[in-house]
Amino acid sequence: MSTSTDESPVPQADSFNEDLLGFLCCPISKSLLRWDAAHSELICDQLKVAFPVVTGVPKLVPSDGRFLPEEST
């Protein structure tokens, strides 16, 4: 009898599949997002808002976003 285990890859704490960027948009402005790997955030350049990515999962709830300081844009 063979046993097989379904070992799905577990996302690393800071990992994010950048292929998803073509499908994701800002929940407020509906504009495209860009990935900021240094801070593990998705950035909406139009509104200057950052959304966190936790264990590879984007948190695109408007209340989870934070405004970026002017100098970081």
pLDDT in tens, 30-58: 999 999 999 999 999 999 999 999 999 99
Domain that holds residue 60: 33-72
Q: What is the pLDDT of residue 70?
A: 84
Would you say residue 53 lies in a domain? yes
| pTM greater than the 0.95 cutoff | no
Would you say residue 8 lies in a domain? no
Would you say residue 9 lies in a domain? no
Mean pLDDT of the chain: 86
Give Cα 35 to chain centroid, integer Å.
7
Q: Taken in order 64, 33, 26, 70, is the CA torsion positive or negative?
A: positive
Domain of 57, CATH number, reads 2.20.25.10
- Tally of domains within the chain: 1
User: In a 3-state reduction of DSSP, which class is residue 37?
Assistant: coil
